[in-house]
Amino acid sequence: MLRNDDDNLELTRRDAMKAGGAAAVALGLGGTASHLTSLGEAQSTSLEYEEVPTACWIGKMDCSATAKKVGNRVVKYEGNPEDPRTEGSLCPKGQAQIEQVYNPYRVKAPLKRTNEKGQHGEWQEISWDQAMDEIGEDLKEKLQDDPRRVVFQVGRKKSPQWQEDAWVTGTSNKYGSMEKYGHGAACSDSGYRGQELIFATHGVSETDFENCEFFIGWGHNMTQGGGAHLCQITWPKQIADARDDQGMETVAIDPQRRNSGPYTDQWLPIEPGTDMAFWLAFNSVLVREGYIDEEYLTTATNAPCLVATEGDEDGHILRTDDAQDPGEEYTWADGELVWDEDAGEAVAHEEASSPENVALEGTYEVDGVEARPAFDLYLDQISQYDPEWAAEITGIDADTIDELAMKWGEKAKIGATVEVDGIEIPYRPVGMHGYHVAQQEMGVSTTIAHYHAAMLVGAVDVVGSTRVRKAKYDGPKDYREPFRDQAFHPEKITKEPDGPSLGGSMFHPIDSTAFSQSHVSQTNPDKYNLPYEPEEMAWIVQMANPVTSAPGVETVIESMSRVDTTIVCDPWMSETADVAADYVLPAATADKLQGPTGGWDGYADIEHIRFPSMDPLWDTKPDAEIYIQLAKAVDAYEEYVADINDELGLDGTDYAYAGADETPDDPSEFLRDGLDRWAQTKGKSLEWFREGNVITNEWDVGGGNRYAYTWGMDNGYGEFNPYDAKHEFYSETLFRLGERVDELMADSKFDDPVSEFPYLQDYNAYPTWREPTMYDSPDEYDLTLFSWHQIEHKQTRTANNKLLNEIAPKSAFRLNPEDADRIGVEDGDEVVLETHDAQNDETYQVEGVVMIQDGVKPGTVGVPHHHGSWKDPESEALDEGPSINRAIPSGPGYLGLDNGQAFQVRAKVEPKGGDSE
């Protein structure tokens, strides 16, 4: 069945302009006239030169920047040398934001839809007052009835305090919890879930580049990306410095070579979606060769804890009778038994006579039950996965995997220590990083497998190693707690989800908030036991464009079209706004006050504010002001203000708002006043930041900073656990969640739950390989498709940036010369790319042009993300690239146990006009 050739919704941009173009100029959309008028007025009054401190608005690390102005016109954005992460650079995107700020096709005033959803919008311009009144009435009615009827969908966000944080929290405090979803299920949340499960910390692997000597970039955009917290400039610079300063070697595991070329000593072209097999084999070599840091494993992890291998507790860690409730204690659960070789008996982990006496291997009997240290079970598990086995699956030959793992083991220098600022800390100069690559069908377990490679050699949060936390926290956060709580109180998991993300229910007890899956569920409310049909729901879409940025585009469109009321807050008529919004609220871009913002580079963090390059253009508003008004519109202003105290860190200081009465009436005054109060809690003022200053906090070693090993020393388990949380090498949490999910699914309407939801197979205490669902596609789909981010673009929010489209137009389909030859196509040829959903047998087609590259693994086709979103006619002429998310399926089979989206699918490419048409 073909889905994209339906004539109902083949959304080409030309259609869009045909449908809405004429009306658009007159309304709040498109056209240049009003813009030029306002500019002319400004210029005639003043041509003075001025500099305004601001922050890059496109990227994710908000690089501190300066807007250089002549008259009221910004002529250039430049980096701020005060920002330690950039030392004054801005990347091409940061510089090119000037084009988007002045883009005459911005949405200029609030818009209300006048036609049916599911097609290009027709709009009526309305006042902010009317928009707020109507939206407020609609939301209030639903919230009063049941707050679960309202979904707040946020995308790759910025300064969340005023909108997704205070508005959602404040409104939920008044009416009860609404559904709040992020974009992470399409970004990297499967990696976060893996890290939270093991380490209880938040993020995905990072590296102490200042001291690392050997780095594995696992599907990491080494020269163009920035991992969990950074955007682009900082890590590539740190990697280049590490190569110069300490000769750091680097390896890239990636189906394409990209331009990591000069920064990569070794490229391992891997078959997309098979990374778990690679890491399992890698770890089997570490075990085979004895590259094991026993001290780390016995003191900081549950590897020595005794797991019952028979009876009722089979698969569970055994505990002392008086052990605390493990669901309550997510950091270090007291009372988990280990075998004390000196005492010759099982004792609580923290009571063992000394770490050296804690057994990692053997079979023991505890109260008549056979039990083995978790690590002993690991030895059995991992020995099945040798490099020969993985070579077949990954396309990387066995010797290469073998040698790489041996090198990692050797270079980890197990046992070495180094003194930093007078403190002796283990020295393990091997690091790794993976981020968006975690979005694979078995992404959570794959992330865990990659962490095992660091854990086996003890290279976790010590000098030179992989880092698993922000490295400035003074203690662990509660990121594992919700999962432990469910695992040990299984009755909390039910068959009935609260909303389309299915979070907390038997479908996905662990939840990445389902960017794409929400729409699969929402279009099948009965199947997924949803409390409401989409026709009863409201969605607020803040700074997200799920129609283009989430796979399963047609499903998202169908789902969003059925929603009763959708409010999209966006500077542009995004695809999501175009087909699904009832109201579009025009956010300002770099022409707005926004903050506080900041970020860190692993060694220091900065705090600053985005001052508006100019007053908001047209009738647009800063996001914060929109949500201040929206809080009033839903009668939750009191609660909003209470939460603003919390979000801005004003609580408990002299600067906290005593109540809503104390806030200025005018939202823009409130925003200024709030930011000034925030600044005052830092001993500064808004004016101080307005002078171009930023706050920089260096992270020290010791005293609660930088290396976990130093801050955990006095955690009460000092000798036993240098970290504050016991690392779950053996994921008892996942195992127990699986038991509950199996129980509920067995008693459900699904006759064969595993075939319906393949990810149910993945609730294992140790990562366990199975073939990804995509391999069930017929053989004619002989390529594996993968996608990625380009240096010149940022998600879909730059799709209409003319400067960036000049340098990176189109999403050409990258093929290896071998495949191009076989298919019979040449560089620049027009082709049809067809993918197949092995779960439901649907196919999807997109058209594009071929780009032939040696640096693409044979048997794969690579297509960059970013393109295919809303464009005005000018950017349309520069960029006709499709959105590859039209060809990536969503839903089971392409989805992890955490409802995280996979970005790999089997595909074929044929010349346009060929047989497949």
Q: How far is CA 140 from CA 40, 134, 135, 431, 636, in A?
A: 43, 10, 8, 50, 10
Q: Of the candidates 437, 462, 694, 760, which one interacts with ligand MGD according to CB under 6 A?
A: 437
Binding of ligand SF4 at residue 83 (CB under 6 A)?
no
Residues that bind Mo ion (CB under 5 A): 187
| Contacting residue, 150, 884, 897, 909, with ligand MGD by CB under 6 A | 884
Q: DSSP letter string over 261-290?
A: GGG-SEEE-PPTT-HHHHHHHHHHHHHHTT
Nearer to Mo ion, 157 or 810 (CB): 157
686 binds ligand SF4 (CB under 6 A): no
Alpha carbons 811 and 880: distance in angstroms, whole number: 8
Q: Which residues pair with 831 in a beta bridge?
A: 848, 911
Any idea how long the chain is? 917
What DSSP character marks residue 358? B
| Binding of ligand MGD by 574 (CB under 6 A) | yes
Stretch that binds ligand MGD, among 271-279, 378-386, 597-605, 726-734 (CB under 6 A): 271-279
789: left (phi over 0), alpha (psi -120 to 50) or beta: beta
143 touches ligand SF4 by CB under 6 A: no
Query: CA triplet 270, 867, 184: central angle to 5 degrees?
Result: 65
CB of 515 to ligand MGD, least distance (A): 7
Choosing from 94, 136, 236, 255, the residue that interacts with ligand MGD (CB under 6 A) is 255
Interface stretch with ligand MGD, choices 553-561, 570-578, 760-768, 774-782 (CB under 6 A) = 570-578
Peptide bond into 664 cis (omega under 30): no
Cβ closest to ligand MGD, residue 358 vs residue 577: 577
Report the C-alpha gap between 276 and 282 in whole angstroms: 10
Interatomic CA distance for residues 517 and 555, integer angstroms: 9
Tell me, residue by residue from 90 to 119, as one string, x for binding to ligand SF4 by CB under 6 A and - for no binding: xx-xx-------------------------
| 571 touches ligand SF4 (CB under 6 A) | no
Residue 299's φ and ψ, nearest 5 degrees, are -90, -30
* Residue with the CB atom nearest ligand MGD in the bound state: 155
Q: String of b and e for 525-543 (b: at least 16 CB within 10 Å)?
A: beebbbebebebbbbbbbb
Residue 619: CB atoms within 10 A of its CB come to 16
Among 72, 331, 796, 899, interactor with ligand MGD by CB under 6 A: 796
Give the residues across from 607 on adjacent strands: 598, 695
Position 570 contacts ligand MGD (CB under 6 A): yes
What pairs with residue 53 in β-bridges?
66
- Shortest distance, CB of residue 578 to ligand MGD, whole angstroms? 10
Contact status: 542 vs ligand MGD (CB under 6 A): yes
Q: Of these, 270, 448, 650, 708, which contacts ligand MGD (CB under 6 A)? A: 270
Residues 20, 120: contact at Cβ < 8 Å?
A: yes
**Is 777 one of the binding residues for ligand SF4 (CB under 6 A)?**
no
Q: Residue number with the shortest CB distance to ligand SF4? A: 59
Residues 685 and 671: their CA atoms lie apart, in Å, by 14
Identify which of residues 185 and 420 has a Cβ nearer to ligand MGD in the complex.
Answer: 185
CB-based contact 36:102 (threshold 8 Å): no
Alpha helices in 513-636 (DSSP H): 517-522, 546-549, 553-562, 575-580, 623-633
Stretch that binds ligand MGD, among 248-256, 291-299, 302-310, 455-463 (CB under 6 A): 248-256
Residues in region 209-238 near ligand SF4 by CB under 6 A? 231-233
Task: For the beta carbon of residue 365, count every other beta carbon within 10 angstroms.
Answer: 9
Please tell me whether residue 56 binds ligand SF4 under the rule CB under 6 A.
Answer: yes
Give me the least distance between CB of 692 and Mo ion, in Å please: 29
Residue 231 touching ligand MGD (CB under 6 A): yes
Prior bond to 596 cis, omega within 30? yes
* Partner whose binding site includes residue 63, from ligand MGD, ligand SF4, Mo ion, none (CB under 5 to 8 Å by kind): ligand SF4
Which has the closest alpha carbon to 349: 379, 316, 306, 313?
A: 306
Considering CB distances under 5 to 8 angstroms, the limit depending on partner class, which of Mo ion, ligand SF4, ligand MGD, none binds residue 787?
Answer: ligand MGD
Round the CA-based radius of gyration of the chain to a whole number and report it.
27
Judged by the rule CB under 6 A, the positions of this chain that interact with ligand MGD are: 60, 155-156, 183, 186-188, 218-221, 224-226, 231-232, 253-256, 258, 270, 272-273, 275, 435-437, 440, 542-546, 549, 569-572, 574, 587, 589, 623, 786-789, 791, 793-797, 862, 865, 884-885, 888, 903-904
Judged by the rule CB under 6 A, the positions of this chain that interact with ligand SF4 are: 56, 58-59, 61-63, 90-91, 93-94, 231-233, 794
